[in-house]
Amino acid sequence: METFNVDGVILNTVNFGNANRVVTLYTKEFGKLEANAYNCRKARSPISGAIQMFNHICAEIKHGSHVDTIRDAEVLNFYPNLTADIDRLGYAAIFFEIVNKMTLPKVCEVGIYNLLINSLPAFNVKNPKIAALIAVAQFMEFTGFQLNFKSCVRCGREIEGNASLSLSEGGAICENCVNVVTGYSYTAELRQTFLTALNFNWQAENEITFSARQVYAAEKILFHYVENILGSELKALNFLRATAD
Ligand SMILES: [Zn+2]
């Protein structure tokens, strides 16, 4: 049977049987892949440490007629704070759930792989709420569902000053085109928050500075929009809401 090597991030794991996991990886080579890791939950398994959500691994995968199997795996990078801190875990899990639900298997988009690799260190040590906002905003640009933050979706005019944001119409609506007040209030400050998030360079910029109010407003819109597209609630977001109560 054919084997191949991948470099990827573990988007999700689901336990099955006594000691096995179905592993979803986002790989540099093939995009999203699913493979079974047998016995990886046994302490003595050589891959038990590697097969954990959020890990960046290289793996040897055996191609099977029904399922692929992870034969060997080695950790390239891991982020210990993500499992130690409930906020970090929650926000990274929201981002990973969105990537997992909004990508198709075996469609390779290296930009998504790079975004995962570049944002994980920020989830690990910086403000995870802000990291999630930036990561999800940037990820949406790859999906074809990105909101138009810059110009009016009705007349095409560049947005200046205050406007509205309509999730059903896919972006900003200028003051001239708004006949009924619908959607979200879209202030210049909020627009700047989204545009700063979209242009954020994970490798070059050390400080992420947004006001808590801006982040709250932007995050609410973005997550609500994703849930509208998916037609279901984000499990990780509900988890975070429950722990905040
Ligand atoms: Zn307009």
Angle, CA of 31, 37 and 38, to the nearest 5°: 165
Same domain, 201 and 136: yes
Same domain, 140 and 231: yes
Q: From the CA of 11, how far away is ligand 1's center (Å)?
A: 39
Same domain, 132 and 209: yes
CB 163 within 8 A of CB 184: no
Query: How long is the chain?
Result: 245
What's the pLDDT tens digit per position in 42-71?
989 999 999 999 999 999 999 999 999 999
77, 92, 112 — which closes off a domain?
A: 77
Q: From the CA of 176, how far away is ligand 1's center (Å)?
A: 6
The answer to the question of residue 82 being in a domain is no
Which CA distances in Å does 100 have to 12, 24, 46, 215? 8, 8, 26, 23
Q: Is the pLDDT of residue 209 over 80?
A: no
Q: From the CA of 134, how far away is ligand 1's center (Å)?
A: 26
Same domain, 136 and 57: no
Q: From the CA of 148, how far away is ligand 1's center (Å)?
A: 12
Q: Mean pLDDT, to the nearest integer, of 92-107?
A: 97
Same domain, 73 and 132: no
Helical segments of 35-127, H only: 81-84, 86-101, 110-125
Q: From the CA of 130, how far away is ligand 1's center (Å)?
A: 30
Q: From the CA of 47, how far away is ligand 1's center (Å)?
A: 55
Same domain, 46 and 136: no
Domain that holds residue 227: 128-146+182-244
Retrieve residue 120's tokens. 């994980």
Q: Is the pLDDT of residue 190 over 90?
A: yes
Whether this prediction's pTM lies above 0.85 is answered by yes
Structural domain count, the chain: 2
Q: From the CA of 156, how far away is ligand 1's center (Å)?
A: 6
Q: How far apart are CA 110 and CA 108, in angstroms?
A: 6
Q: From the CA of 170, how far away is ligand 1's center (Å)?
A: 13
Q: From the CA of 69, how far away is ligand 1's center (Å)?
A: 52
Contacts by residues 152-156 (CB-CB < 8 Å, ≥ 24 positions apart): 152/176, 152/177
The answer to the question of residue 175 being in a domain is no
What's the pLDDT tens digit per position in 158-187?
999 889 999 999 999 999 998 766 789 999
Neighbours of 183 (CB within 10 A): 18
Same domain, 50 and 141: no
Q: From the CA of 173, how far away is ligand 1's center (Å)?
A: 5
Which CA distances in Å does 160 have to 116, 170, 178, 182? 33, 18, 14, 18
